[in-house]
Amino acid sequence: MLTFEKAFRLASADMSLPAGTYRVLIESEEIPGLSFSAYRRSLTLQLPAISVRSNRVRMLPVDTDDLVAALQADGQDPTGRF
């Protein structure tokens, strides 16, 4: 879960997202065909924020660097979160 104190933007979103607490799903997928084990990590943000009541839930794939930049713009230290 990530909490944003201010509205924020992500490159993958078509709008500004309001402040609030959001669920972030982190998935790891093994990269096949290599001679060693390697994994690709993907992040997905669940919209809307947890505090918003809605019958519609949207899953938004996000880039790690983009999410880190949004947290920094919100005045947070994202070190070690992902």
Domain regions of the chain by residue span? 2-73
Per-residue model confidence (pLDDT) at position 43:
96
Confidence band, pLDDT 50/70/90 cuts, at residue 8: very high
Give the tens place of pLDDT for each residue, 44-68.
Answer: 999 999 999 999 999 999 999 999 9
Q: How far apart are the C-alpha atoms of 17 and 19, rounded to whole Å? A: 7
Per-residue model confidence (pLDDT) at position 28:
93
Q: How far apart are the C-alpha atoms of 77 and 61, rounded to whole Å? A: 21
Confidence band, pLDDT 50/70/90 cuts, at residue 14: confident
pLDDT of 81 strictly over 90:
no
Local structure of residue 59 (DSSP, 8 states)? E
Structure tokens at 64: 């790690």
DSSP letters spanning 1-53: -EEESS-B--TT-SSPBPSEEE-EEEEEEE-TT-SS--EEEEEEEEES-TTS-
Per-residue model confidence (pLDDT) at position 82:
77
Cβ partners under 8 Å of residue 38, min gap 6: 30, 31
